[in-house]
Chains A and B, each alone.
Chain A
């Protein structure tokens, strides 16, 4: 068999799977753009004309942005600590990888058990007599953001860590031995080299936070919806597929509109860094 036909045969199964995905994506966009078979932006104008939907969009972006912010804030020091740890690093990796691989349903449920009205914190507070009424720790933005940060933080740490482990410690030491102070060496050596990892982490966390359903539903309740939970309710309770398709397309635009520029910037940065290393 000639090499060309063998390649085609080898690529066929994966191409078929990706083809199904692509056709579905096109189907989604066309069904959101048509009403009774005619090209019509009606589903989109209907979304933008509803103040509650605009507010929901704003809430989604705000929660996704805050989740991403806290993930960087907590993820970066953790990745740095693990990368520079001199002891049994595999144990620390286990503390990150294992929770990451446990289903998000289980992890979100864990937070329900901790934050719920009869949960760990409220149970403890009433047991020591701190509070006579349960504190409202979930069914609000606090609970949702806490849950999302917990669920998505491993993505951030792993993304940063995989870049940081490539940076030889000797580079930092060289900078310090040349008179750079630790903070200065950190800012001029570690941070720029780790930036591609941070950007990958931001991309992943932002994407998953905007499209999350499970964590916002379990910790936020049915009241204050986000894009993902709204889509879920349109499909499961109202069977309004065209509206769900339009909302899903809006979700794609909000996600990719932020993510693609970051990806392009990251590629440019990586090219610049490797050029710099070559000189």
Chain B
């Protein structure tokens, strides 16, 4: 009985601050306060009228798009070698790909400063792409590998025995079989990259900035409700992604074990 009360309270508690942010973004007052003074869209107008905010949002979207594509492609290659070629130490390699998950983000931030400055990429878009690829690989790898394990290699063998060339077999037989896994990897790593702050804020500079990092520094410095409007937009983006993910593979994917 107590456990049920805890569970229901937790399920209400998790979305609470997000709902509050979205609701407070519609205030007409110059500061956030409760109960809100009046309803208006003025903070959305300010956000969408600001070239700065829009540029930062574009950077974030492009970064997440490139990062997700590269890490999904890299994951597909790795999963192919591990699952199909059954390379030696395949499980060890899978564990290595998951290591960015077991490092605290603050430590990864400093590690990446060291790496990017030796490459001359600190504070550049290229540097951010590299780091976001590393950060999203653990998320991109699992869905692709799971899809590849489920796909039947006999189909490929059949295509090959009927005279199909390796590349054609890959494009017309293998790839369609893992498509849901690929789309899941892309969407999942896109979300992770688009929302990433802790590592990214070590690596941004005067020439490159991402949306969540910009929101973070604005919250530290001001109390303008425009932050609520930007945050609500981020929430909207994430909802769209979750909706598509649910359609493609189903939300229970997140709690399944392979």
Contact = CB atoms under 8 A, between A and B. Distances in A.
A161 B96 contact: no
Interface in B195-222: 195-198, 201-202, 212-213, 215-216, 219-220
Of the four ranges (under 10, 10 to 19, 20 to 34, 35 or more), the interface on chain B belongs to: 35 or more
B32 interface: yes
B34 A105 contact: no
Contacts of A118: 31-34
Contact of A227 (B4, B80, B96, B106): B106
B18 A14 contact: no
A39 to B, nearest CB: 18
Interface stretch (A3-11, A43-51, A135-143): A3-11
A17 interface: yes
B105 A212 contact: yes
B160 interface: no
Given A109-B21, A113-B20, A217-B220, A10 B97 contact: no
Contacts of B250: 90
Interface centre among A81, A102, A256 (most CB of B within 10 A): A102
Contacts of B14: 95-96, 99-100, 150, 153-154
A14 B75 contact: yes
Interface of B: 2-4, 6-8, 10-11, 13-18, 20-21, 24, 31-35, 70-71, 73-75, 77-78, 80-81, 85, 87, 93, 96-97, 99-115, 118, 130, 133-134, 137, 141, 191, 194-198, 201-202, 212-213, 215-216, 219-220, 227-228, 231, 234-235, 238-239, 241-242, 246, 250-252, 254-257
Contacts, number: 284
Nearest to B9: A74
B112 to A, nearest CB: 6
Interface string A86-118: 000110111111111111111111111110101
Given A6-B85, A109-B227, A207-B102, A21 B212 contact: no
A241 interface: yes
B107 A248 contact: yes
B163 to A, nearest CB: 19
Contacts of A109: 17, 21, 215, 219, 227-228, 231
B102 A203 contact: yes
30 contacts: A12-B77, A13-B77, A18-B97, A18-B134, A21-B111, A21-B115, A27-B118, A28-B111, A74-B10, A77-B3, A90-B252, A93-B255, A96-B11, A98-B239, A101-B195, A102-B18, A103-B194, A103-B196, A104-B195, A106-B212, A109-B219, A110-B21, A114-B17, A203-B102, A211-B105, A213-B106, A217-B220, A232-B109, A232-B202, A252-B103
A28 B103 CA distance: 13
Most A Cβ at <10 Å: residue of B21, B106, B130 = B106
A97 B234 contact: no
A79 B134 CA distance: 30
Contact of B100 (A21, A93, A203): A21
Given A23-B115, A101-B242, A118-B32, A207 B104 contact: yes
Nearest to B34: A123
B85 to A, nearest CB: 5
Majority secondary structure of chain A interface residues (helix, strand, loop or mixed): helix
Given A31-B114, A77-B3, A255 B104 contact: yes
Interface string A47-69: 00000000000000000000000
A185 interface: no
B216 A20 contact: no
Given A109-B215, A163-B257, 14 more contacts: A10-B85, A13-B70, A18-B134, A77-B4, A77-B7, A81-B3, A94-B242, A105-B216, A110-B17, A118-B31, A162-B255, A208-B104, A245-B110, A251-B107
A7 B195 contact: no
Contacts of B239: 98
Contact of B130 (A20, A73, A213, A231): A20
A11 B73 CA distance: 11
B21 A11 contact: no
Nearest to A73: B6
A79 B99 CA distance: 26
A122 to B, nearest CB: 8
A196 to B, nearest CB: 10
Nearest to B227: A109
Contact of B15 (A20, A95, A210, A259): A95
Q: Give the 6 A-B CB pairs with smallest separation, nearest first.
A: A211-B104, A110-B17, A81-B7, A24-B115, A123-B34, A103-B195
B99 A18 contact: yes
Residue among A17, A98, A99, A213 with the highest chain B CB neighbour number at 10 A? A17
Contact of A113 (B21, B112, B118): B21
A163 to B, nearest CB: 7
A74 B202 CA distance: 32
